[in-house]
Chains A and B, each alone.
Chain A
Amino acid sequence: GENVEQHPSTLSVQEGDSAVIKCTYSDSASNYFPWYKQELGKRPQLIIDIRSNVGEKKDQRIAVTLNKTAKHFSLHITETQPEDSAVYFCAASRGAAGNKLTFGGGTRVLVKP
């Protein structure tokens, strides 16, 4: 089955700096890679996703890059703000409804004012 590894497990950045989280996956058939943000005690919320036919996707201050050959993808947050503090999860699946997501272990991001 799919295995997703995520690094680092914790990340502390100064407000205004950038944050980068990296994930690797094992199943070469995976073609859908979402990122979720989870605030303390809350449900995960989808913040951005990318499919394998695209190498990069950007939405305001967040961007995701995908390298299918190396089987890794990354989340980039620029100009970090205190409200970016949360746990971020990457995930992978073969796409289409009913294809289960396999999640990474999560990265706790702390943005210091």
Chain B
Amino acid sequence: DGGITQSPKYLFRKEGQNVTLSCEQNLNHDAMYWYRQDPGQGLRLIYYSQIVNDFQKGDIAEGYSVSREKKESFPLTVTSAQKNPTAFYLCASEGQGTFGYTFGSGTRLTVV
């Protein structure tokens, strides 16, 4: 998957439940990002991390949380505070001295 793996591919969440989306990369990239994509719309930034143990909120961070304990991993938790979580979630990474993201294959989250 081009060095960046997202799992699961499909995820169903019940009302009031927290779920965690996995993102792992073996590209030795420092920067990692989470974006949300709604049908027919662009990508909106949720959180990003430029280095291990550090991350920043993006434009739509409310109801989400992240951690960056390892360089390779940047999991996203969708909490019960996120009122409309149904969307396609994309993780991306970017290396020093390179331009442009490498995207994972995405996780489609549906609230049931």
Chain A 40-67 interface mask (CB, 8 Å, partner B; 1/0): 0011111001010000000000000000
**Chain B residues whose C-beta falls within 8 Å of the C-beta of A70 in the assembled complex:** none
| CB-based nearest B residue for A101 | B101
B43 at the interface (CB under 8 A from A): yes
Describe B's contact surface by its main secondary structure. loop
Chain B residues bordering chain A, tally (CB within 8 A): 29
Contact present for A97 and B43 (CB under 8 Å)? no
Number of A-B contacts (CB under 8 A): 62
Contact present for B42 and A105 (CB under 8 Å)? yes
Chain A residues bordering chain B, tally (CB within 8 A): 24
Q: A100 with B33: in contact, given A43-B106, A89-B43, A105-B42 (CB under 8 Å)? A: yes
> What are 8 pairs between A and B in contact, CB < 8 Å?
A1-B59, A44-B43, A46-B101, A97-B31, A97-B97, A97-B99, A103-B43, A104-B42
Residues of B that sit less than 8 Å from A by CB: 29-31, 33, 35, 40-45, 48, 50-51, 58-59, 90, 94-101, 103-106
